[in-house]
Amino acid sequence: MTLPFAPWADPASEPLIELRNVTKRFGVFEAVKDLSLKIYEREFFAILGPSGCGKTTLMRMLAGFETPNAGEILLGGTDLTPIPPAKRPVNMMFQSYALFPHLTVEKNIAFGLKREGTPSDEIADRVVDIMRLVQLTDFAHRKPDQLSGGQRQRVALARALVKRPKLLLLDEPLGALDKKLRQETQFELMGIQESLGTTFVIVTHDQEEAMTVSSRIAVMRDGELAQVSTPTDLYERPDTRFVADFIGEVTILEGRVTTASRGGVGLAVLEGAEDLRVVTDATPPSGTTAWLALRPEKVSISRAKPEADNAVSGKVLDIAYLGNISTYHVELANGSIIKAQESNRARSDRRDITWEDAVWVAWEEDAGVLLLA
């Protein structure tokens, strides 16, 4: 059995890229605040966060277009800060692609190799190989304005990849593509990354995309890292309400810790109702305010009170029908809303639940996550 790829869990492994307390200011505005991060070789690292949180700024510092005001950026242990973009073993695929409009696809791709002074027969070979990889061979002699959006994006990718950089930066590379093409390209990207073994850092707005492609995800907020974890951890074990809310659909219930026993706490959410049971490693003192984050697919809905660790009653406020699944928005007595998701297999007992119905929502004590911030 092979070990799963998880160099970040191994204290002995050396990071490829290390940011140490990096700060970037524009005037008085801090776009990146005292940020520290390690990215390992062969990772497919995603940076996710709301607009304006500093993702592009972080990438531009890695590529060398911005200089940090404080802190340092190390690549393989050496400080990158004094090295200009042209000399870094880092390539960036621009959000706007930034293809040279006066050059053909082939020449765009060969541009970087020519600058390095690679022998011309080697350039020709490498360009042909990479064009085959991204399926651009038929378009070699076209200019960028004679290509579709998806083809341009592949030229940009090929142009950055052909230099075989240690680190490839992708700033929202798939933003311009439609959903289907985007999904195809995501898989293409993963394939390429695996076959070349390059380290990828990808910025995206699209959390689904980040979950699909990456080995780890960093969630950024206001120039800081909110959490850095594997996609599964980020989804199942968010650290904060911000992260839980940012990744996927979630219900967040505010309550007060009543009892803290081994491995779990009781959380008073509703007046006069039983405390909710939550499994957690944390041992918050009773009386603390805490939040329960619940993924809708872990909550079931029924007319009769079910046998479950936690069950609360409410009224169906809204049903979002998504084809394969339906999401029920159930309003509790205190006005808060719990989302419950059911797949639409023909189960009449649930299918006939409709608006205004009195129902029970239920989940197990290990279904939710207790958040203290």
Partner 1 sequence: MNRTLGQRILVALPYLWLLVLFLAPFLIVLKISLSDLAVSRPPYTPQFDLSGGWAGVKDFFAKLDFENYTFLAEDSLYINAYLSSLKIAGISTIITLLIGYSIAYALARSPRRWRPTLVMLVILPFWTSFLIRVYAWIGILKTEGLLNQLLLNIGVIAEPLTILNTNTAVYIGIVYSYLPFMVLPIYATLEKMDESLLEAAADLGSSRLAAFFLVTLPLSMPGILAGCFLVFIPAIGEFVIPDLLGGSDTLMIGKTLWVEFFSNRDWPLASAVAILLLLLLIVPIVLFQRQQMKQEIGT
Ligand X SMILES: Nc1ncnc2c1ncn2[C@@H]1O[C@H](COP(=O)(O)OP(=O)(O)OP(=O)(O)O)[C@@H](O)[C@H]1O
Which residues bind to partner 1, rule: CB under 8 A? 63-65, 84-87, 90-92, 94, 96, 98-102, 111-112, 115-116, 145, 159-160, 163
Other beta carbons within 10 Å of 85: 13
Indicate which single residue of 51, 195, 232, 324 sits in contact with ligand X (rule: CB under 6 A).
Answer: 51
Asked if 332 and 314 touch (Cβ cutoff 8 Å), the reply is yes
Whichever of 47 and 267 has its CB closer to Mg ion, that residue is 47
Query: What x/- string results for residues 192 through 231 when contact with ligand X is judged by CB under 6 A?
Result: -------------x--------------------------
Binding Mg ion (rule: CB under 5 A), the pick from 56, 193, 229, 327 is: 56
CB burial of 232-271 (b: ≥16 within 10 Å; e: otherwise) equals: eebbebbbbbbbbebbeebbbbebebeebeeebbbbbbbe
Using alpha carbons, list the distances in angstroms from residue 104 to 78, 91, 115, 145. Answer: 36, 20, 17, 10
Nearest to 91 by CA among 113, 71, 119: 113
In the bound state with partner 1, the residue whose beta carbon lies nearer, of 134 and 234, is 134
The answer to whether residue 227 forms part of the interface with Mg ion (CB under 5 A) is no
Q: Is residue 55 a contact residue for ligand X (CB under 6 A)?
A: yes
Interaction of residue 28 with ligand X, rule CB under 6 A: no
CB of 212 to Mg ion, least distance (A): 20
Query: CA angle, corner 84, sides to 105 and 52, nearest 5?
Result: 80
Judged by CB under 5 A, the stretch of 48-56, 180-188, 242-250, 364-372 that binds Mg ion is 48-56
Radius of gyration, CA atoms only, the chain: 25
Q: Where are the alpha helices (DSSP H) in the chain?
A: 55-63, 105-116, 120-133, 149-161, 179-196, 207-213, 231-236, 241-246, 348-351
Q: How far is the CB of 68 from ligand X (least distance, A)?
A: 13
For residue 39, the surrounding DSSP H or E stretch is strand 29-39
Q: Choose from ligand X, Mg ion, partner 1, none: what does 26 bind? Cβ within 5-8 Å by kind.
A: ligand X
Residue 145 is which amino acid? Answer: D
Closest CB to ligand X among 32 and 316? Answer: 32
Q: Is the Cβ of residue 214 or residue 280 nearer to Mg ion in the bound state?
A: 214
| Separation between Cα atoms, residue 324 and residue 340, nearest integer Å | 14
Partner from ligand X, Mg ion, partner 1, none contacting 12, C-beta within 5 to 8 A by type: none
Closer residue to partner 1 (CB): 83 or 372: 83
| Least distance in angstroms from the C-beta of 162 to partner 1 | 10
β-bridge partners, 70: 23
- Which residue number is nearest to Mg ion in terms of Cβ? 56
Q: How far is the CB of 65 from Mg ion (least distance, A)?
A: 13
Q: Of these partners, partner 1, Mg ion, ligand X, none, which one is at the site of residue 74 (CB under 5 to 8 Å by kind)?
A: none
Query: Which helix (H) or strand (E) covers residue 92, if one does?
Result: strand 90-93
Q: How far is residue 135's CA from residue 346's CA, in Å, rounded to a whole number?
A: 43
Shortest separation between residue 218's beta carbon and ligand X, angstroms = 12
Nearer Cβ to Mg ion (56/300):
56
91 binds, among partner 1, ligand X, Mg ion, none (CB under 5 to 8 A by kind): partner 1
For strand 29-39 and strand 264-268, is the pairing parallel, antiparallel, or unpaired?
unpaired
**Residues near ligand X (CB under 6 A):** 26, 29, 31, 49, 51-57, 205
**Residues near Mg ion (CB under 5 A):** 56
